[in-house]
Amino acid sequence: MPSLENDLLVLLYDVARMIRRRADQLARLRGTTRAQWLVLAHLSRHPGLSQSELASLVEVEPISVARLIDKLEARGLVERRLDPHDRRLRRLHLTPNARPLLEEVDTMRANLNAAVTEGLDPSSLACVSQVLQRMKANLAEEFLLTEEAV
C-alpha cells in the first residue's frame, strides 16, 4: 500500500483543495466568491440558462444558485429575463458590467494555472491532462451505471 504522500487519490484531493483555497483567496480580494466566478463563467459560455439548468451545471441545489444570482443581480452583473416561450421561466444573462470582472477572472485563472504547472514541460502537462480526462470519464461512466441501478 503506498504511503499517503504518494497515494493518487490523496494527492488529487490535496492539489484540488489547495487550488480551491487559492482561488477563494483571489476571489475575496475582488469582493466576490469562487462560486460567483463559476456562475459568471458558465453564463458567459451559455447565456440564457435557467436557474435549474445552471444549478445542474455547477452541481448545486437550485436554491443555492438562486442566492448566488440574487447577489450577482444586486451588483448589476446578472439579469433575469422572461423566457419568450415560457412565461414561468426566467433566463439568466450577464450584463455589460460583468465583462471587466470576467476578464479579471480569466487573468487570475491563467496566473493560477501557470503557478500550478510551473516547472512542468508541455509533454508532461499533455499527459497529465489526458490521464485526468480519462479518470473523469471513468468516474462519469461509473456514476451513470450506479444511477441506472438505483
- Provide the sign of the torsion angle of the four alpha carbons 136, 108, 19, 94, taken in this order: negative
Classify the phi-psi angles of 48: left when phi > 0, otherwise alpha if psi is within -120 to 50, otherwise beta: left
Enter the C-alpha cell of residue 115. Answer: 503557478
Asked if pLDDT for residue 27 goes beyond 70, the answer is yes
Residues contacting 82, CB < 8 A, separation 6+: 89, 90, 91
pLDDT digits (tens, 9 = 90+) for 112-149: 999 999 999 999 999 999 999 999 899 888 777 666 66
Model pLDDT for residues 39-84, shown as the tens digit of each residue: 999 999 999 999 999 999 988 898 999 999 999 999 999 999 999 8
* pTM greater than 0.85 (yes/no): no
- Give pLDDT tens digits for 85-121: 998 899 999 999 999 999 999 999 999 999 999 999 9
